[in-house]
Amino acid sequence: MRPASKLPPSFFSALFLVAALACSTGSSAEKLCEKPVYLTLDTGHMDIAPLVADVLKRQNVRVTFFAAQERSKTGDGSLGEHWAPWWKARAGEGHEFASHTYDHVYWLADLPGSPPQFRVKPSAGASEGQVFTYDAQAYCAQLNKANARLLEMTGKQPLPLFRAPGGKTSPALLAAAASCGFQHVGWAPAGFLGDELPSEKFSNPALLKKALGSIKKGDILMAHLGIWSRKDPWAPAVLEPLIIGLKDKGFCFATLREHPAYKASGAKGEKVLAF
């Protein structure tokens, strides 16, 4: 073998070319996500969950799941043992996870007095349909319980984010969640994908057309893993055409881990995301 000092000029030219191509490829990869959107999926009856997973894998799209222990059509609830392998597989594919409160607890109202208390109503679990008074500690327990279960199933630390069921919050509730390190994530107006609307009035083709015509760069999109009341399931009928259509428009998909507002907050609960 020749000493390095006596290698022919063509060798160094080839090295330069390889380096240049690598830089070029890196630049192209960065440009692939100049128009990001952030698809988020809340739990539901889970009947369409396997189909949703197939679409996401086929389209190489990663999303953020907001999970609660909701009643499911199959198994022991959306965070039960039946669905644990499904969640584990999603972690292996690079998806992110966050809390939707363990019992899918709806905020109803703030109560007068100090410290803050809230009237709430779980729509899942043993206390489904009952109205309770929560303080900040009780609400934080709901947020942490969902995340603990996600970590147990997936082996992946969930993001310090949450979505209140129905998106219903108050400044006091958001402050209570922030006190235990959680930031709220809603969705953009155009990001409401309409899967929970009645299919008799809002058909899948109409919802797809509306979404493709209104979604903008940076929007957070929201749908569910099954809605009990919708007769014509939204997914996968709309999901895959929507992903393909947005890609054709130059959009790309990222998780909330990459969202600039989340990065800016440092995930320490100083800020609440509002959209």
Q: Looking at residue 268, what is its pLDDT?
A: 39
Q: Which domains does the chain have, with CATH numbers?
A: 32-265 (3.20.20.370)
Query: For 132-140, what is the mean pLDDT?
Result: 98
* Average pLDDT estimate for 118-126: 97
- Whether 81 shows a pLDDT value over 70: the answer reads yes
DSSP string, 166-218: GG---HHHHHHHHHTT-EE----GGGB--TTS-TTTS-HHHHHHHHHHH--TT
Residues 19-62 pLDDT 10s: 444 444 333 434 557 899 999 999 999 999 999 999 999 999 99
| For range 65-83, the mean pLDDT | 97
Helices (H), the chain: 9-31, 49-59, 84-92, 136-154, 171-179, 204-214, 239-248, 260-265
